[in-house]
Amino acid sequence: MIELRIHGRGGQGAVVASKTLAQAAFLAGRYVQSYPDYGVERRGAPVVAFARIAEPGDDLFVRQDIREPHHLLVLDATLLDSGNPIAGLRTGGWVVVNTPDPPEALGIVPRFRVATINASEIASRHGLGSAAQPVVNTAILGAFVRATGIVSLDDLLTAIDHEVPVKAEENRLAAAEAYEQVLLEVSV
């Protein structure tokens, strides 16, 4: 079983990212769960969402908070400086961050693997959200899928069709582009 946590800010699409990733694994025949951690819901405020993906053929699931995720997605790099989004991450886990900087620049401790992608730039270029507040979820998912290999890019693109209500084509292009452009660092 793989457990994931997604950190974002209200309006960036963290909750849809969780559902889309779960959908991609579901389409590949895996048993999944996706849920948001609802607190105060407002634009710009920190948002957390989660997903569980069972091993192929397994459908035994627990229904409890995810405290020790295998991997993280961070939709806004400023979240790395507020609170502690890396808390509980398992050793060797991927931290996939939306930032123009390379992985080495983030100063994340070497027991985790870091991948970076300028998802804001990709999303803006494809007209997703506004220039000031791009909706970066599909772009960062492309990067995440490349880094972790948990699901295939094809399944992600089909899941985007299922889960993303508008601009499906632009979102698919953003995901595919991020898949190609992601910077991967293996620092274990």
Partner 1 sequence: MPERLLLTGNHAAAYGAMLARSEVISAYPITPQTMIVELLSELTASGRLDAKFITVESEHSAMAACVGASAAGARAYTATSGQGLALMHEMLHWAVGARLPIVLTNVSRAMAPGWSIWSDQSDILSQRDVGWMMLFAESVQEAQDFIIWMYRVAEQVFLPGMVGMDAFILSHTAEPLIVHDQEAVDEYLPPFEPLYDLDPAQPRAYGGLVNRDHYFELRYKIYENMERAGQLLIDAGEEFGDVLGHKYTPLEGFMLDDAEYVLVSAGAMTSNVRQAVRDLREKGIKAGLLRVIAFRPFPVKQIRRILGGRKKVAVLDRNMSAGHSGIFAEEVRSALHGQSDAPPIYGYVVGIGGRDVRVETAHEVMDDLLERDEPEMALFVGVKGLPIGPLRADYEIRPLEPLEVVR
62 or 188: CB nearest partner 1 = 62
Token readout for 32 is 């999944």
61 or 169: CB nearest partner 1 = 61
**Three-state secondary structure call for residue 134:** strand
35 or 88: CB nearest partner 1 = 35
Could you tell me the smallest distance in angstroms from the CB atom of residue 91 to partner 1?
21
19 or 172: CB nearest partner 1 = 19
41 or 104: CB nearest partner 1 = 41
Could you tell me the smallest distance in angstroms from the CB atom of residue 23 to partner 1?
5
**Three-state secondary structure call for residue 52:** strand
CA–CA separation, 142 vs 153, rounded Å? 7
Token readout for 132 is 């000031």
Could you tell me the smallest distance in angstroms from the CB atom of residue 66 to partner 1?
10
**Three-state secondary structure call for residue 185:** strand
Site residues, partner 1 (CB under 8 A): 19, 22-23, 26, 31-36, 38, 60-65, 162
Long-range contacts of 104-113 (CB under 8 A, 24+ apart): 104/185, 106/77, 106/80, 108/80, 110/187, 110/188, 111/188, 112/86, 112/187, 113/147, 113/184, 113/185, 113/186, 113/187, 113/188
Could you tell me the smallest distance in angstroms from the CB atom of residue 29 to partner 1?
10
Could you tell me the smallest distance in angstroms from the CB atom of residue 55 to partner 1?
15
